[in-house]
């Protein structure tokens, strides 16, 4: 007779969910017992690291990732990382161990009281099965729901005595199930949007994270080329959905309402693909659209479509829509619109005084990183400088915490590198940010993803100083760091570390770290202010 444990591992195997990111205690041990040899367990030493790693892994593979947390305490610790995963539409299947059913009512130690309520509203679906025999069906549903658009994290709480319960015979159907979603846009919508793109005087394209997958990425380029229209990345980007080296690329849109509309002034048609409209941050009220502009957004997320404060929206598969639109554009359109000139490049940062400026660090990174390298960025004061100086030309090359919740950097880097063993992964992390998930270095040392962790040590929460200027507030406590030795921390967790001060030292350290078949941390002292 098969148990719930047997059937669950069979169905996880059939879905390719053989990597478990976790941190256990007694409630979780019965799930982990007799852990099969073809599964791997990636231990994170704190749950923010566990979920951050799984988030990076899921985004980089494009597949659901399995997480196992400890009851309420583990879910609580993971919550900040879960905010990122939720905004990133990361398909995380999060499980948490629950007390034995017989002791939940009396609220024994480690009972997760109202477990499904705890991770809401950050998950698409949250559930505790009413019977032990329902666990495999609940997990199957969770896996399918996480993967269906709009993708996102789901949560299942499992009482620990469920695992040894005999499974229902009917659960044998679960592993064979497939649930697919393909929502192409209605042909009439494509024809109409293609006509509007053709007739527009000056159209512009805005792309978001959903476009940063093979297929959609290339189709977006094709559409921009066919229409000879500039392409911007939607504000607060967590991914790089357009090649920054392409002549149509213009940059990242500002994250205030008024500045964004001002940036798009002069365009009569704004087409947005795979982004919310828009993920603003700075409160800078003003008109949502420039004078005379119309906006059409295409997204797979009905909630994103519904909550946009302006424009039209089409809910459909973004890649299929981009492909259909590119194919529908007349080939003679090129002759009627001027060829775009590539965006101007910033002057190389030539300063060599120490500490280096962020601009110099990013120039060196851009020169040294090999083709196909992936960058995980969590250097918050310098994002504008970063986007001007660091370039990407292929999908799944850039990750940033999608909700801005710090702790993503160290953790997601380990997850991305585990998912992409053949691509060099380089993390660019602020000295403040590094501390939110510093124990991720231990996981990197333990499982050996050969990632490079570049810590920008400016000894401050630089972004907060910058934002204080934006808000016009001063005399603030709590913005100065300092006295933290990142090389010593790395050594403590078992990661080899070096300190680089000059341009030459940094370039050499980056080159050798990227070549190394093991994780390495580089600490570089940087100026508090970016050069440009
Ligand atoms: C979980 C969480 N807590 C606090 C913040 C607020 N926050 C935003 S940027 C920032 C500063 C990060 O400093 P650092 O990593 O040193 O980068 P720098 O700004 O100096 O480049 C902080 C604390 C946050 N984004 N997420
Ligand atoms: Mg800092």
DSSP assignment of 372-419, as one string?
T-EEEEE-GGGHHHHHHH----SSS-EE--TT--TTHHHHHHHHHHHH
Q: How far is the CA of 405 from the centre of ligand 1 (A)?
A: 8
| Cross-strand bridge partners of residue 98 | 159
Which ligand neighbours the alpha carbon of 84 most closely?
1
First vs last C-alpha separation in the chain:
68
pTM listed for this prediction: 0.97
From the list 471, 502, 491, 381, the residue with the least C-alpha distance to 431 is 381
In short, whether 406's Cβ falls inside 6 Å of ligand 1 is yes
Q: How far is the CA of 519 from the centre of ligand 2 (A)?
A: 22
In short, whether 433's Cβ falls inside 6 Å of ligand 1 is yes
Give the residue, out of 79, 404, 406, 524, with the most ligand 1 atoms within 8 A of its beta carbon, to mutate for a pocket test: 406
Give the residue, out of 432, 454, 471, with the most ligand 1 atoms within 8 A of its beta carbon, to mutate for a pocket test: 432
Residue 460 CA, closest ligand 1 atom number:
20
Answer whether the bond into residue 278 is a cis peptide, omega within 30°: yes
In short, whether 380's Cβ falls inside 6 Å of ligand 1 is yes
Instruction: State the helix-helix crossing angle for 503-515 and 358-368, rounded to 10 degrees.
Output: 40
Residue 458 CA, closest ligand 1 atom number:
20
Is there a contact between 57 and 18 (Cβ–Cβ < 8 Å)?
A: no
pLDDT along the chain (532 residues), means of 10: 96 97 97 98 98 98 98 98 98 98 98 98 98 98 97 98 96 91 93 96 98 98 96 98 98 98 98 98 97 98 98 97 95 78 92 92 98 97 96 98 98 97 97 98 94 97 94 94 97 98 97 95 86 36
Query: What is d(CA 112, CA 117) in angstroms, rounded to the nearest whole number?
Result: 10
Q: How far is the CA of 286 from the centre of ligand 1 (A)?
A: 27
Give the residue, out of 46, 377, 378, 381, with the most ligand 1 atoms within 8 A of its beta carbon, to mutate for a pocket test: 381
- Return the number of other C-beta atoms located less than 10 Å from residue 486's C-beta: 23
Q: How far is the CA of 407 from the centre of ligand 2 (A)?
A: 13
Number of H helices, E strands in the chain: 19, 18
Which ligand neighbours the alpha carbon of 361 most closely?
1
Q: Is residue 226 helix, strand or coil? A: helix
From the list 198, 327, 208, the residue with the least C-alpha distance to 269 is 198
Q: How far is the CA of 402 from the centre of ligand 2 (A)?
A: 19
Tens of pLDDT, residue by residue over 18-73, are 999 999 999 999 999 999 999 999 999 999 999 999 999 999 999 999 999 999 99
Q: How far is the CA of 411 from the centre of ligand 2 (A)?
A: 18
Query: What is d(CA 370, CA 372) in angstroms, rounded to the nearest whole number?
Result: 6
DSSP at 105: T
Q: What is the largest CA-CA distance in the chain?
A: 76
Residue 430 CA, closest ligand 1 atom number:
15
Query: What is d(CA 58, CA 426) in angstroms, rounded to the nearest whole number?
Result: 18
Q: How far is the CA of 291 from the centre of ligand 2 (A)?
A: 39
Query: What is d(CA 522, CA 507) in angstroms, rounded to the nearest whole number?
Result: 11
Please report the pLDDT score of residue 332 as a whole number.
72
Q: Is residue 216 helix, strand or coil? A: helix
Residues in the chain: 532
Which ligand neighbours the alpha carbon of 52 most closely?
1
Identify the residue whose C-alpha is closest to ligand 1 atom 17: 430
Tokens of 420: 């992409």
Is there a contact between 70 and 51 (Cβ–Cβ < 8 Å)?
A: no
From the list 256, 249, 293, the residue with the least C-alpha distance to 271 is 293
Please report the pLDDT score of residue 334 as a whole number.
66
239 CB-contact burial (10 Å; exposed 0-12 / middle 13-18 / buried 19+): buried
Which ligand neighbours the alpha carbon of 464 most closely?
1
From the list 415, 335, 421, 428, the residue with the least C-alpha distance to 379 is 428
Identify the residue whose C-alpha is closest to ligand 1 atom 20: 462
Identify the residue whose C-alpha is closest to ligand 1 atom 16: 432
Tens of pLDDT, residue by residue over 105-130, are 999 999 999 999 999 999 999 999 99
CA atoms within 13 A on the CB side of 248: 25
Residue 379 CA, closest ligand 1 atom number:
21
Q: Spell out the residues 6+ positions from residue 405 whose beta carbon is closer than 8 angstroms to its own.
A: 80, 81, 83, 84
Q: How far is the CA of 437 from the centre of ligand 2 (A)?
A: 15
Please report the pLDDT score of residue 335 as a whole number.
67
Residue 80 CA, closest ligand 1 atom number:
1
Q: Spell out the residues 6+ positions from residue 380 whose beta carbon is closer than 8 angstroms to its own.
A: 404, 406, 430, 432, 433, 462, 463
Q: Is residue 249 helix, strand or coil? A: strand
DSSP assignment of 45-81, as one string?
SSHHHHHHHHHHHHHHHTS-EEEEEEHHHHHHHHHHH
Q: How far is the CA of 457 from the centre of ligand 2 (A)?
A: 6
Tokens of 492: 């403590």
Is there a contact between 425 and 449 (Cβ–Cβ < 8 Å)?
A: yes
Please report the pLDDT score of residue 530 as a whole number.
42
């Amino acid at each position: 007779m098969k148990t719930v444990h047997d059937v669950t591992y069979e169905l996880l195997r059939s879905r390719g969910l053989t990597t478990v990111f976790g941190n256990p205690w007694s409630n979780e041990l019965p799930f982990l017992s007799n852990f099969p040899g073809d599964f791997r367990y990636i231990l994170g030493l704190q749950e923010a690291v566990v979920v951050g790693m799984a988030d990076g892994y899921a985004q980089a593979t494009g597949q659901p990732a399995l997480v196992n947390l400890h009851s309420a305490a583990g879910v609580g610790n993971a919550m900040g990382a879960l905010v990122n995963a939720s905004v990133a539409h990361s398909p995380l299947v999060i499980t948490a161990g629950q007390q034995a059913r017989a002791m939940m009512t009396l609220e024994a130690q480690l009972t997760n009281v109202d477990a499904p309520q705890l991770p809401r509203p950050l998950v698409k679906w949250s559930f505790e099965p009413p019977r032990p025999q329902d666990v495999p069906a609940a997990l199957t549903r969770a896996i399918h729901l996480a993967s269906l658009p709009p993708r996102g994290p789901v949560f299942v709480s499992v009482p620990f005595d469920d695992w040894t319960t005999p499974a229902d015979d009917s659960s044998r159907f679960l592993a064979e199930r497939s649930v697919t979603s393909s929502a192409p846009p209605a042909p009439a919508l494509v024809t109409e949007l293609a006509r509007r793109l053709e007739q527009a005087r000056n159209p512009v394209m805005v792309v978001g994270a959903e476009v940063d997958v093979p297929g959609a990425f290339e189709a977006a380029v094709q559409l921009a080329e066919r229409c000879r229209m500039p392409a911007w990345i939607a504000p607060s980007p967590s991914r790089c959905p357009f090649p920054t080296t392409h002549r149509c690329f213009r940059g990242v849109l500002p994250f205030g309402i008024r500045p964004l509309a001002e940036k798009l002034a002069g365009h009569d048609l704004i087409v947005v693909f795979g982004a919310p409209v828009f993920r603003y941050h700075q409160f800078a009220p003003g008109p949502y659209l420039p004078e005379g502009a119309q906006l059409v957004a295409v997204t797979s997320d009905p909630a994103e479509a519904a909550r946009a404060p302006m424009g039209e929206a089409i809910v459909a598969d973004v890649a299929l829509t981009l492909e259909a639109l590119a194919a529908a554009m007349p080939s003679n359109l090129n002759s009627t619109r001027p060829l775009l000139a590539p965006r101007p490049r910033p002057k190389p940062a030539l300063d060599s005084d120490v500490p280096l400026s962020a601009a110099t660090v990013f120039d060196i990174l851009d020169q040294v990183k090999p083709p196909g390298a992936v960058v995980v960025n969590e250097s918050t004061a310098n994002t504008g400088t970063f986007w001007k100086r660091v370039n990407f030309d292929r999908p799944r090359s850039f990750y940033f915490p999608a909700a801005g919740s710090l702790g993503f950097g160290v953790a997601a880097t380990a997850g991305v590198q585990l998912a992409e063993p053949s691509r060099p992964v380089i993390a660019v992390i602020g000295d403040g940010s590094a501390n939110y998930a510093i124990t991720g270095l231990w996981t990197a040392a333990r499982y050996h993803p050969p990632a490079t962790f570049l810590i920008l040590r400016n000894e401050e929460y630089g972004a907060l100083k910058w934002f204080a200027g934006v808000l016009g507030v001063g005399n603030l406590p709590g913005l100065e760091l300092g006295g933290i030795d990142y090389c010593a921390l790395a050594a403590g967790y078992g990661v080899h570390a070096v300190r680089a001060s000059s341009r030459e030292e940094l370039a050499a350290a980056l080159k050798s770290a990227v070549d190394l078949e093991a994780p390495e941390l580089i600490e570089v002292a940087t100026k508090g202010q970016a050069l440009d």
